[in-house]
Structure 1
Amino acid sequence: MSVEAQANVPAGARPAKVTEVKQPQWVPFALAVIGTGAGFAVKHLAQWLVTLPRAPFKGPAETLTAVPEPWLTVGLLVAGAVVGLLAGFIILHEELAVRVAADRVVLSRADSPREFARGQVAMAARDGKDLVLIGTGGEQLAREECDFTARRLAAAFTTHGYAWAAADPHAGDFRRWVPDTPGLPAGADALFKAREKALERSDGTSDARELHEELARLGVYVRDSKSRQYWRVTVSTGA
């Protein structure tokens, strides 16, 4: 939920309010409860499977139910809680957190904050599941996937006087990238090829993000859709 917090300001200065949009801190504990319930369900499922003459996973179920009580129940409940708790902390670490103030916007993911001064941001918009920040020259300052509703994000930005759009005004300017696409700056095609390989790897998220930023330095802005890469260059907003 969006909450109001006080930013650090010099002594005697008027404190600036900050609106935060982020995953609630109780997520790990909620998932721990769900995990505990899942562990309890696994116990009863295993006990049911061993009563059947033939069933998938009957072998593992027999191994599991061979553990004496109360260790079977305790072990499954603890394991479910731990898995749920870890999953929740991973979500808090990996999900986007948005902090909006009258003088700046901060986007944080995996403890890596990116700060944008008020004068840089012409508009914020929602594009599919992405939050997009657009600069005063039409450049794409940031594009971050997030699960927050457009209404929550819009409220955070408009509360502090930022322009908000329900859709990326430059969505129609994106073109699909294919190898050796004409019109790209020198070096951009090689970065796209490297990024395509990174997107195909399960551990390539950080590499894809880094290459995204490299392309932005060349004035090329990227939009992903169903493992496909789309690109545009700066188009003035007229702001």
Structure 2
Amino acid sequence: MQSKTVIGHSVTDKAILYGALPLAGVVLGFFIPRIADWATGLRWFPWQRLLEVLATWNSWWVGGVCMLIGLLGGLLLGAMALDDTLKVTITNESVEFLKNEKTVAVPRNKVVTAFLDGKEIVLLDATTRELAREKHDQLKSEAHKIPPAFRAHGYPWSDGGDPYEARFRRWVEDEPELPPGANAVLKARAKSFDDGDKGKADLRELRDEVAKLGYTVKDKDKKQYWRPNTLR
């Protein structure tokens, strides 16, 4: 048995991100002066003054500088894309989720159920509380490798998805079956869907706050669905 299994950040991913993107940047940089010369004939095209300047630079070093800028830009984009790709490291002792330099580690002995909810990997404990809910970046043709990876390290995998799916209810403001504290957090959370990266961070943080109150919340089409953590 392998000591660990890694999902994401494969050799192919790295080859594409650190090979194809920089190469594309170099090619684009090589053609920038020629593109600028062509675009100056399109008076509706923006940045005409800049394009005219670029078009008049015919020295060999101009192409070299543009290619270098394209190379560095491609490497930067590759690094950003790799950093934004979820890396899952599965061992017999724990599961680690790494994304955007943030790590979520879940001990194996706390995981009672593991499953896929759409493109999200979900781990539950004995009280049905979510220990982790992380969106993977695997292609549809590669997603089938996720369940065997967890099973290979002894994690109880649910092929049928969430065994408590039927218990989720759509949240409405001032939900009568929720305590005021939980409603307040969910109300604040509902305002975060359209706030970009800051909103994503708030959604995650406030989801953890809801969990501390004894409830699980998940999102679908910018709507919140909740259920109690304990079985009743």
TM-score range, shorter chain: 0.7 to 0.9
SS in 1 for 2:133: strand
Match of 1:225 among 198, 211, 220: 220
What letter corresponds to residue 56 of structure 1 in structure 2?
A: F
Looking at structure 2, the residues matched to 163 and 190 of structure 1 have their Cα atoms a distance apart, in angstroms, of 35
Shift in Å, 1:143: 0.8
The 8 Å contact of residues 18 and 79 in structure 2, kept in 1 or not, is answered as no
Unaligned runs of 5+ in 1: 5-16
Structure 2 residue 77 is matched with structure 1 residue 87: yes
Structure 2 residue 191 is matched with structure 1 residue 197: yes
Shift in Å, 1:131: 1.0
Structure 2 residue 6 is matched with structure 1 residue 20: yes
Shift in Å, 1:64: 3.1
Distance 1:75 1:168, change over 3 A: farther
Aligned residue number for residue 165 of structure 1: 158
Looking at structure 2, the residues matched to 220 and 41 of structure 1 have their Cα atoms a distance apart, in angstroms, of 56
Looking at structure 1, the residues matched to 207 and 121 of structure 2 have their Cα atoms a distance apart, in angstroms, of 15
Aligned residue number for residue 67 of structure 1: 57
What letter corresponds to residue 222 of structure 2 in structure 1?
A: S
Aligned residue number for residue 57 of structure 1: 46
RMSD after superposition:
2.6
Match of 2:109 among 104, 107, 119: 119
What letter corresponds to residue 177 of structure 2 in structure 1?
A: G
Task: Give the percent of matched residue pairs that are identical in Structure 1 and Structure 2.
Answer: 33
- After TM superposition, the structure 1 stretch with the greater mean CA deviation from structure 2, 127-136 or 165-174, is 165-174
Looking at structure 2, the residues matched to 189 and 26 of structure 1 have their Cα atoms a distance apart, in angstroms, of 47
SS in 1 for 2:177: coil
Shift in Å, 1:198: 2.8
What TM-score does the superposition give when structure 1 sets the normalisation length?
A: 0.79
What TM-score does the superposition give when structure 2 sets the normalisation length?
A: 0.81
Structure 2 residue 26 is matched with structure 1 residue 36: yes
Aligned residue number for residue 91 of structure 2: 101
Shift in Å, 1:121: 0.8
What letter corresponds to residue 163 of structure 1 in structure 2?
A: P
What letter corresponds to residue 182 of structure 1 in structure 2?
A: P
Match of 1:211 among 206, 224, 227: 206
Looking at structure 1, the residues matched to 132 and 31 of structure 2 have their Cα atoms a distance apart, in angstroms, of 43
Shift in Å, 1:236: 4.2
Looking at structure 1, the residues matched to 38 and 184 of structure 2 have their Cα atoms a distance apart, in angstroms, of 56
The 8 Å contact of residues 65 and 72 in structure 1, kept in 2 or not, is answered as no
Q: Could you say which structure has the higher helix fraction?
A: 2
Looking at structure 1, the residues matched to 154 and 129 of structure 2 have their Cα atoms a distance apart, in angstroms, of 20
Distance 1:172 1:47, change over 3 A: farther
Looking at structure 2, the residues matched to 185 and 71 of structure 1 have their Cα atoms a distance apart, in angstroms, of 68
Shift in Å, 1:58: 6.5
- 1:109-157 Cα offsets, whole Å, 9 max, x none, are 2333222222211222111121111222222211111212431211210
SS in 1 for 2:180: coil
The 8 Å contact of residues 176 and 229 in structure 1, kept in 2 or not, is answered as yes
What letter corresponds to residue 205 of structure 2 in structure 1?
A: E
- After TM superposition, the structure 1 stretch with the greater mean CA deviation from structure 2, 37-46 or 112-121, is 37-46
Shift in Å, 1:159: 1.0
Match of 2:174 among 180, 194, 201: 180
How many residues align structurally? 221
